[in-house]
Structure 1
């Protein structure tokens, strides 16, 4: 007896209880097109409708008496879900107590018919050998030669923590890091392997693209960027899936790119919050890269000017090899305190002021500040109480001197404002944002060109002519030849933020800004001492990360332990915690924080050791499915949770723990 062919599919559904493979019979009319990886449409009996799906596997069944629904149609004959990608998505979803469909929605771009037809007409089914010119190969070898053992680790598909020299490149408007990352990709490409390079934002992508320009054939460098138009992104995804080597450049979702013979995954600056996926289940690009390296046995590199505690934990375990430049070349960082008698309102000590004046004779000077805008914080001029919005209670700010203040949260104008404490109607400007700093420095340096770079006024590059560049953290532009001096202001204010990782974040912001300085140029860190200041001055970020990790371990805080945030009604949160306690024996007393009331319900934070991760995530996932099924039974046939249904949400591996919640 000849068995019938069946397709195992994963449904495109938000319901957690449908997060499994379903069997469908393949009708004869669809037999040719129903292959693993293609998009299909299938009937869902419970919802009485047709839903989208991916065919994961095709098999032959020897028991045709089993009642099965048939595939409705095959949407496209192009396979976009490879077996490796499905395995990766399944492992990540299980690790994050989420649904595999949520991972696939991030990994696979939406289908664009015209782009697909154009690709089908021009695709190459053969795999031509990857070739690089002798000059390109020589360039890559010379760049990587400064990092002893790095080429050998790449060739052996090892895992590496790479500290890149903090300096601008000798040519082009980019950092040395872009040349090092590009050279690593070229080395993999020359061996006939693909490379996936994951960076935080578009400015990093432009630097990498500039480093690879004219070194690898244009069609073999694929950009997967969330800012791309949908057709271009889908076309790039299809090109990456072809059976020939490719170098993929992209943001956090590019870590899933279907590259042929993957030889290298490199994540640049993994501490940047842009690499944290905001959508459920919230898998960080760093974690996705770690799991993918295990499944595909490629080289894995975490590179940066600084070191996150997450990467340092892996290094301390011996799971990553340490690679640094030999000999080391670091910026000239000066810890510059405010001297007695100097006005704190001036914000710039005389030593830093003199350094900026001298540097302006030969080129641009970078001034990093904490906040954008003019006056990001206002207070009552009478009693000095913070000025608050009467509508929502948010902080008031001023767009310029003499302007009517507005709320930083809801945007409401504070006309006829009066202090609730002393009834005064006068304001005091407390904070200095980028625009107010530019105004003040313009008066201090008359005739000097002033450039502001922040979220509202983005600047990506400045020339080598003298200028004062005032930039918020993370918005610093590149300067041709590097900045002749760098002033890091508002350090104490940055360190005051209520964030578990604030010292780690500040060190990353300051290190990346210092890397923009020209060789030998002074970098003044103003008003900051202690361990974090010394770490920048001595360029010992890995040692600082290790000290932070030891402190976190003593307090049972991430990343020394894993964490999960549980949100929902009080009953849902308490039932979920009870289920975890029932499934995991001897849960430590320090594990649970909460439950406490939150804006939208109740919240608890669960902390646990890594070796308990599989059991706890399984219990959390079971709780989510149980609550979703209970809600569904109240509304049979619904394909989305009903109003008043389950509100239980689980988020794993928090970057920070905020048990009280923010207003």
Structure 2
């Protein structure tokens, strides 16, 4: 362990470490070298490269650096860079990873011996270790925090299994090797050619609706594989992983790639992860955690639907898969493909900065593939048909659904799940709130009493505090209530629901009404004959900087499941930019205009921002300790609304935002990391949640 140039301990409490007894370890000389005096039975350091530089599993910011330990001679062969070890740190045995072995330590004092090698499997590769360090620095986090995201827990039984044959000897690829799905895009064939030549093309891809995007991605992966390099594909959920897995098997054959998801269980997931580490699998498809998969000789990193918020890691330091894969592609000199049916402002920023090229189809090809989109106001065209009126459908939407049901299934997207997520007084429209915690009241069925969405209390005796009325009305209608209403409006037509509690995997070509929440829409065989996008005001009215961008993404993802030229009806005001972008099927122009507006007002991604969430006192202390870069603006702090937890102490939390120009982003992260280090060195009890470029600013 190290000291600074003046000999002052950098670690508070380092003096609590037990002294290195001459009877258990020899007395090292200067620079961690072994001394001459050694008692009988003392541990001897390894002859060659006796010092191991170890990343200790400690998340304290002021301890975020490697520490040097001596390698005992008996563990010399097992102590390889990347292996797991146990070391004594501040009187405790903790886990660590060997980063490298060196001849001498820069530490002037005594070095402790590492205690044991947990496993000699080199699970932390130099490339991933460097990526972890870069991600931690970018997001004001610690190496240990990112390491937990990157390397899965050890499964000893799986690790001891015999190594299977390399994926290069798997089944023969069945792909044709031509441009295939990429011929629909003017720059598509040149993108594949660059991958085939071993180059590193980077593109932001706006996929055509109605086409199988998994086939296009699989073809790019196959071209990369044939060039002798590996590939990594990150998607949003297990359903996309399954579809991508099928497409990769069709292109690569068996045994060349693995699929990584949390549903596999610890043993199988670790088994597949080891196959990637050992080089028996040359390509990976998985959800967010797969962004750190140790793919050797990475040639292509793919992220599909980068606007989905599941790509943002919910654990510290909260990295986003788009940034991690961009950093990784840059470090490995690999190609990168960020794709989706729509385009985010973050991806547009990559194009405008010159880091990536735009990969789109020409307008004529888009017109032949897109559905026919119509918009109707929320209340302007309520259906004259009584059945349609009971289903809350505008006349245009009702007629479109009735006609389309003769040709196949119809998709109905509803923004909110549940039955009635929000209610209000039936007379004065005052929102109904819980008397105990002031949380919003909801209904779980037509016969159920109102209940609180925050604390779960039943409010069977609710009475309006403003007018005393006891009856309520729906403010927002959920998917279950919508399905119930549609069943009455279309008697004899099967109504199926798909949402968080139960997601339909796939649908046949037979007629049916499918009511789904955003992101849970099942693909239909042959495509949907029509789609209805209801309650657009719920999505567009959210107090969120990305509300319009996210709404357009959800709409286009649903509409892309409709057959070419099939009808799509969106219930929203037609003058709004997201609605106009949907009607024209032009997400690129919308993203470019949105980015231009963000530049004018200084919001991400045109600027870098950090959010600090804690009690007011903790935020003040951290800001006082932080040496913010020149030009930094502190916005707030403002109170953060949060749902109370029954039985827990209620602490008022606030959030402050710090804004800097993009060029000062690394300086901002470094300043906040140092301030966090000062607080942890003081052993301050309360932590401050620091997020760099958070998705939610309001």
For normalisation by structure 2, the TM-score amounts to 0.86
Find the partner of 1:278 among 311, 314, 321. 314
1:267 & 1:550 partners in 2: Cα distance?
Answer: 24
Q: Indicate the residue corresponding to 2:134 in structure 1.
A: 91
Counterparts in 2 of 1:424 and 1:315: CA distance versus 1, 3 Å: same
Find the partner of 1:535 among 581, 586, 591. 581
Q: Is 1:574 the counterpart of 2:620 in the alignment? A: yes
1:63 & 1:31 partners in 2: Cα distance?
Answer: 21
Q: Indicate the residue corresponding to 1:332 in structure 2.
A: 371
2:269 & 2:313 partners in 1: Cα distance?
Answer: 18
Find the partner of 2:103 among 60, 63, 70. 60
Alpha-carbon contact 2:372-2:565 (below 8 Å) kept = no
Residues 36-58 of structure 1 show CA distances to partners (whole Å, capped at 9, x for unaligned) of 000000011x2x11100000001
Counterparts in 2 of 1:601 and 1:453: CA distance versus 1, 3 Å: closer
Alpha-carbon contact 2:498-2:522 (below 8 Å) kept = yes
For normalisation by structure 1, the TM-score amounts to 0.91
Alpha-carbon contact 1:5-1:60 (below 8 Å) kept = yes
Q: Indicate the residue corresponding to 2:4 in structure 1.
A: none
Counterparts in 2 of 1:527 and 1:30: CA distance versus 1, 3 Å: same
DSSP-derived class of the 1:461 partner: coil
Q: Indicate the residue corresponding to 1:152 in structure 2.
A: 193
Structure 2 counterparts to residues 34-49 of structure 1, below 5 A? 34-44=79-89, 46=90, 48-49=91-92
Counterparts in 2 of 1:602 and 1:356: CA distance versus 1, 3 Å: closer
1:116 & 1:264 partners in 2: Cα distance?
Answer: 28
Alpha-carbon contact 2:414-2:533 (below 8 Å) kept = yes
Alpha-carbon contact 2:375-2:579 (below 8 Å) kept = no
Counterparts in 2 of 1:298 and 1:62: CA distance versus 1, 3 Å: closer
Counterparts in 2 of 1:391 and 1:619: CA distance versus 1, 3 Å: same
Q: Is 1:649 the counterpart of 2:685 in the alignment? A: no
Counterparts in 2 of 1:292 and 1:520: CA distance versus 1, 3 Å: same
Structure 2 counterparts to residues 72-471 of structure 1, below 5 A? 72-118=115-161, 121-124=162-165, 128=168, 132-133=172-173, 135-138=174-177, 141-147=179-185, 148=187, 149-155=190-196, 156-168=199-211, 176-243=212-279, 246-325=282-361, 327-328=365-366, 329-338=368-377, 340=380, 342=382, 347-471=392-516
Q: Indicate the residue corresponding to 2:14 in structure 1.
A: none
Q: Indicate the residue corresponding to 1:661 in structure 2.
A: none
Q: CA deviation at 1:154?
A: 3.0
Which structure 2 segments of 5+ residues have no match?
1-32, 34-46, 384-388, 641-650
Alpha-carbon contact 1:389-1:414 (below 8 Å) kept = yes
Q: CA deviation at 1:526?
A: 2.1
Counterparts in 2 of 1:131 and 1:441: CA distance versus 1, 3 Å: closer
Alpha-carbon contact 2:167-2:280 (below 8 Å) kept = yes
Alpha-carbon contact 2:204-2:347 (below 8 Å) kept = yes
Q: Indicate the residue corresponding to 2:610 in structure 1.
A: 564
Alpha-carbon contact 2:381-2:394 (below 8 Å) kept = no
1:554 & 1:141 partners in 2: Cα distance?
Answer: 40
Alpha-carbon contact 1:38-1:79 (below 8 Å) kept = yes
Q: Is 1:593 the counterpart of 2:635 in the alignment? A: yes
1:558 & 1:264 partners in 2: Cα distance?
Answer: 27
1:571 & 1:388 partners in 2: Cα distance?
Answer: 30
Q: Indicate the residue corresponding to 2:601 in structure 1.
A: 555
Higher-RCO chain (CA-CA 8 Å, sequence separation at least 6): 1
Alpha-carbon contact 1:41-1:74 (below 8 Å) kept = yes
Q: CA deviation at 1:351?
A: 2.1
Which structure 1 segments of 5+ residues have no match?
169-175, 632-643, 659-663
DSSP-derived class of the 1:136 partner: coil
Alpha-carbon contact 1:160-1:322 (below 8 Å) kept = yes
DSSP-derived class of the 1:358 partner: helix
Residues 172-192 of structure 1 show CA distances to partners (whole Å, capped at 9, x for unaligned) of xxxx11111111111111212
2:51 & 2:252 partners in 1: Cα distance?
Answer: 43
Bigger radius of gyration, 1 or 2?
2
1:267 & 1:37 partners in 2: Cα distance?
Answer: 27
Alpha-carbon contact 1:574-1:595 (below 8 Å) kept = no
1:146 & 1:340 partners in 2: Cα distance?
Answer: 39
Alpha-carbon contact 1:627-1:646 (below 8 Å) kept = no
Q: CA deviation at 1:264?
A: 0.4
Alpha-carbon contact 2:85-2:117 (below 8 Å) kept = yes
DSSP-derived class of the 1:111 partner: coil
Counterparts in 2 of 1:546 and 1:65: CA distance versus 1, 3 Å: closer
Q: CA deviation at 1:153?
A: 4.1
Q: CA deviation at 1:491?
A: 0.9
Counterparts in 2 of 1:426 and 1:183: CA distance versus 1, 3 Å: same
Q: CA deviation at 1:583?
A: 5.0
Q: Indicate the residue corresponding to 2:22 in structure 1.
A: none
Counterparts in 2 of 1:452 and 1:568: CA distance versus 1, 3 Å: closer
DSSP-derived class of the 1:611 partner: helix
Find the partner of 1:70 among 96, 113, 116. 113
Aligned residue pairs total 628
1:75 & 1:230 partners in 2: Cα distance?
Answer: 18
RMSD over aligned Cα atoms: 2.1
1:567 & 1:469 partners in 2: Cα distance?
Answer: 40
2:369 & 2:608 partners in 1: Cα distance?
Answer: 34
